[in-house]
Amino acid sequence: MSPPAASPPVPDDVQDAIRTLIRWTGEDPSREGLVDTPSRVARAWKEYCEGYGEDPALHLSRVFEEVGGYDDIVLLKDVPFQSHCEHHMAPIIGKAHIAYLPRDRVVGISKLARVLHGFARRLQVQERLTAQIADCLWDNLQPLGVAVILEASHACMSGRGVRTPGVTMKTSRMMGVFRDDQRSRREVLSLMGF
């Protein structure tokens, strides 16, 4: 078994910026418990934002046409995700429900979660994240319909400002038959548990 790959070095100016923030909060960045914090925080943020280094659409490039005549809704429900608010860089933690009605091909279900995470691992607002996921599926799979609903709590609201914990924000994007046909819309919402 090979040893784990070493983390790339964190640039000095990034560590200095984090030390400045630590000092600004009233702490001493040279205190024992905080000495390594600047490099740990920098590496954590590189991981939180690794979605900038990928194109989520690439996850949808391999499709399957031999599905035994299946022509109904495909739904991935309750997919956990984490993002960060672009306004305060605070965590957004939630779950996604992603559905599409295939036209003549399907994609591996793990790819739906990969699309979600590719967009979530960026600084975000939930509304844009919802639209990006739906648009990516619509543009790349050309399905008859797409439905995406995100439910999330926002630390920028629960831990600061209005300080209202326990609140969940829901956003949705319906496309194709899920937008235009009420029967199809009710069916996908029912499958999602709404």
pLDDT tens digits, one per residue of 83-100: 999 999 999 999 999 999
Backbone phi, psi, residue 29, to 5°: -65, -10
89-99 as b/e: b if 16+ CB within 10 A:
ebbbebebbbb
Is 85 annotated in the active site?
Answer: yes
Q: Residues with Cβ < 8 Å from 155, sequence gap 6 or more?
A: 85, 88, 90, 91, 92, 93
Q: What is the pLDDT of residue 43?
A: 96
The active-site residue out of 85, 97, 124, 187 is 85
Known catalytic residue: 136? no
Give the pTM. 0.92
Average pLDDT of the chain, as a whole number:
95
| 3-state secondary structure (DSSP) of residue 15 | helix
Active site residue 124: no
172, amino acid identity: S
- Out of 15, 124, 126, 132, which one is annotated catalytic? 126
The list of the chain residues with pLDDT below 50 reads: none
Reported as a single tens digit per residue, the pLDDT across 29-53 is 999 999 999 999 999 999 999 999 9
